[in-house]
Amino acid sequence: MTVRRLAAPAPGWITTADVVVVGSGVAGLTTALRVRAAGLRVLVVTKAMLDDGSTRWAQGGIAAALGDGDTPEQHLQDTLVAGAGLCDEDAVRTLVTEGPDAVRRLIATGAAFDRDGDGEIMLTREGGHHRRRIAHAGGDATGAEISRALVAAVREDEGVELIEHALVLDLLTDAEGRTAGLTLHVMGEGQRDGVGAVHARAVVLATGGLGQVFSATTNPAVSTGDGVALALRAGAEVADLEFVQFHPTVLWLGPDAEGQQPLISEAVRGEGAHLVDADGVRFMVGRHELAELAPRDIVAKGIMRRMQETGAEHMFLDGRHFGAEMWEERFPTILASCRAHGIDPVTELIPVAPASHYASGGVRTDLRGHTSVSGLYACGEVACTGVHGANRLASNSLLEGLVFAERIAADIIERDRLGKLAPRHEDTTRPVEIVPLLAAEARAEIQRVMTRGVGVLRSAESMAGAAEGLAALVGSDLEKNEPPQVETWEATNLHLVASALTAAALLREETRGCHWREDAPDRDDVHWQKHLITTLNEGRLQVR
């Protein structure tokens, strides 16, 4: 079998580890800490600084049945409803039953959540939740606090080796196709710079999302789908890529705004803010029993429909009744962000519109984090555990990263104890097909094509146009013949992920969860209550 790899120089340096973790969010750092506690040698590779991933941008909180009267069973039911018939119930049950203790262990690691006067963890509601079960920190800075605590714990452990400013390139495998490590490119100068290789007994992908596939997203600039692209080239299965969640309330900065956009957390609606149109009408009332707190796909669709009905470019979020004190204490980050863009939510309506936010699909895994490639694990947003189905329930993402990171670590530790985590040696005998790179300029064109054709509103015509536009980039003037660089690798990864996403979305001829087709507006359980699995075979994407 031919090995597919990105065009890149041969590794100029080599290092080794028992386990290499790619990513430094809640999933990656939790895995690293748990594996390290068992005495294994751990190397953490991160694309920017250790705290620059998506975790620190999470505002709302982490969902778990921690409050009086709440139960894992109630959390499970809310998650299944949000997932629109495609959740793996075993995965969800694992999440909600192991979640509360996982949060307590996170607190023991050093994460400080907001507490009331009696010292109890304060809980709020978000969309799709029938109970207050969202624990938060710093008002609206939960991800930043979780990231701070985990980064501090990792930096204190001298046994965790770190490589920052490093872009992962491709998986290394042995003669049997099992994981043997990976290649990466370190940006900057030092003892290890440029392309290198890590030989490892297990690789854990915790690379985050693919939001940069679209022009406007809440994701940081580093979220270019590198983990999914690597997994596809390595022969792994990915699932549910068509289910990209568009957050309903992202600060609207104008019709030409691109890149990372400011998020207005769902917790703002959880505390009682209302969605209104330009005439002050609460248009979500009557559309769903939970109105503004309906699952995200329903709220996003409600906003888009009202925009279509009124010809408006955005809707508004009204939190003026909170008053200055509540804004300053409960949502200081959001308040500062709005004011930085000339909007004062204490006295003004906040203009909002949906934007790309979260990938419910990703690299397909089982309940232990195994992918279809032996020795390759995936966790967090890059993974598809089956928890989210067709639409992620608010604040389940941090919990999923936490719970399944612990399960991956436990599996690696157990396999090591049983002698099943044997050293691997890269197979250098198989033929290698080099994937040509797109120029850095292709990134913007990919984003335009995807936003126009595979955004919130989709149709066979729009997606066929996107597929054609993406295919036209291969062999065009935007292919790169110069020496590879970070921007060309990222653009090439984005192209592969965008093509896979579009292929899956074209095949699913129904509307379900956050996959909304104007030409197939109904949910079709007879034909489509199933997962779509995508693989890359001999350079061709196949969806089944």
Question: Catalytic annotation on 296?
Answer: yes
Write down the catalytic residue from 296, 306, 443, 512: 296
The tokens describing 393, both together, are 């329930």
Identity (one letter) of the amino acid at 345? Answer: P
Structure-token pair, residue 222 = 């580093």
Which of 42, 400, 41, 368 has its CA nearest to residue 208?
400
Q: Is 343 left (phi over 0), alpha (psi -120 to 50) or beta?
A: beta
d(CA 304, CA 284): 11
Beta-strand relationship, 315-318 and 350-359: antiparallel
DSSP structure class, residue 458: B
- Rounded-to-integer distance, Cα 448 and Cα 469, Å: 10
Q: Count other C-beta atoms under 10 Å from residue 38's C-beta.
A: 16
Contact 374, 235 (CB under 8 A): no
In 84-193, where do the E strands start and end? 123-124, 134-135, 160-163, 166-173, 179-186
Q: Which residues pair with 21 in a beta bridge?
A: 44, 204
Q: How far apart are CA 526 and CA 530, in angstroms?
A: 9
Nearest 5°: phi and psi at 217? -155, 160
Catalytic machinery residues: 296
